[in-house]
Amino acid sequence: MEIKTFGVIGAGQMGNGIAQVAAASGLQVVMSDIKEEFTAKGLANIARNLARSVEKGKLDDAGRDAIMARIRTTTDLQDMQTVDYVVEAAVEREDLKFKIFRDLDAICPAHVILGSNTSSIPIGRIAAQTRRPEKVIGMHFMNPVPVMKLVEVIRGLATSQETFDVTWELSLKFGKTPAEANDYPGFIANRILMPMINEAVFCLYQGVGRAEDIDTVMRLGMNHPLGPLALADLIGLDTCLAIMETLYDGFKDSKYRPCPLLRKYVEAGWMGRKTGKGFYSY
């Protein structure tokens, strides 16, 4: 099937990044969120990203304008009836994602593939909310989307080969490198990454080292471009906690138990960069 129009649910840091790469690939994009202020903020972030690309000589003014012109925003989910493929990039809450997929299933024509950018929730559970489980798939982008090359492609138990192939080719069209992951909580990326971040939080919690020293060890000793605590702040501590809870609930293994300090920060509203306070102040 040919994809001409691409829908994105959520205009936050992941959603607007996905919208940007889709528009840059030549697709018409419909980016949706629940409030106009959210879609406006997402569109402004795309404009800033493209302006930086122009400044660096990676894109000319005409190219920037063409990408922006291919993106339209909406607060009406009914507008998704015009798209050929849609990716949900809402916050990592199972109840919210389930509702979105039920709504999309009712709104979108039968041929439309419903993708999820979920970081950890099994695709089979999301697909079960719809009457088209064969057309539901995980399309998990990394943050920041315009920069990071990886897309995890996760098929649920019922996902068809056609849905998988279309998603794989779409990832390549976006200039990404797809990798296939089986449908287990956390998939590959967060099954490995989040326990590492959680262990770094335990090191801080238990006084093994200061945040700066923990990150320095991982950057300079393990050659990570960003320390785990700084990375957690970038991802969002609420998202990190949600993923750890999904892993813990899914495997019932104590090694996935979220660190109490991580939960304490989230309960205090310290979510990382997006709130100005996390393991570091911004």
Greatest alpha-carbon pair distance for the chain in Å reads 55
Q: Which of 117, 190, 198, 245 is catalytic?
A: 190
pLDDT tens digit string along 100-128? 999 999 999 999 999 999 999 999 999 99
Q: Is the pLDDT of residue 1 over 90?
A: no
186 vs 12: CA distance, rounded Å: 21
Q: What is the pTM assigned to this prediction?
A: 0.91
Which tens digit of pLDDT belongs to each residue from 37-51? 999 999 999 999 999
Nearest to 116 by CA among 8, 40, 11: 8
Considering the domain boundaries, does residue 198 fall inside one? yes
Last residue of a domain, one of 142, 157, 182: 182
- The parent domain of residue 258 ranges over 190-274
Q: Determine, yes or no, domain membership for 156.
A: yes
Q: Is 222 exposed, middle or buried (0-12, 13-18, 19+ CB in 10 A)?
A: exposed
Residue 223 is classified by DSSP as -
Q: Note if 267 is an active site residue.
A: no
The total number of structural domains in the chain stands at 2
Catalytic residue status for 111: no
The one catalytic residue in 88, 152, 171, 198 is 152
pLDDT at 188 (0 to 100)? 97
Is the same domain home to 151 and 225? no
Query: Which one of the listed residues 32, 120, 140, 245 is annotated catalytic?
Result: 140
pLDDT digits (tens, 9 = 90+) for 176-208: 999 999 999 999 999 999 999 999 999 999 999
| Token pair in block for residue 106 | 């009712």
Dist. CA 224–CA 25, nearest whole Å: 30
Active site residue 224: no
Per the annotation, the verdict on 169 as an active-site residue is no
Provide mean pLDDT across the span 233-241. 96
Q: Which two tokens stand for residue 105?
A: 């299933």
- Give tens-digit pLDDT for 202-222: 999 999 999 999 999 999 999
Confidence of residue 241 (pLDDT cuts 50, 70, 90): very high
- Binding residues for NAD(+), as ranges, are 10-15, 33, 92, 97, 119, 143, 274
In the listed set 182, 216, 251, which residue is the last one of a domain according to the structure?
182
Q: Which residue numbers belong to the known binding site?
A: 10-15, 33, 92, 97, 119, 143, 274
What's the pLDDT score for residue 100? 98
List, for residues 148-167, the tens digit of each pLDDT value. Answer: 999 999 999 999 999 999 99
* pLDDT tens digits, 64-82: 999 999 999 999 999 999 9
Identify the CATH number of the domain in which residue 14 sits.
Answer: 3.40.50.720
Mean pLDDT of the chain: 97
Same domain, 171 and 235: no
Q: What is the pLDDT of residue 13?
A: 93
From the list 119, 120, 171, 198, the catalytic residue is 119
Whether 125 and 208 map to the same domain: the answer is no
Residue 229 sits in a domain of what CATH number? 1.10.1040.10
Which DSSP helix (H) or strand (E) runs through 90?
Answer: none
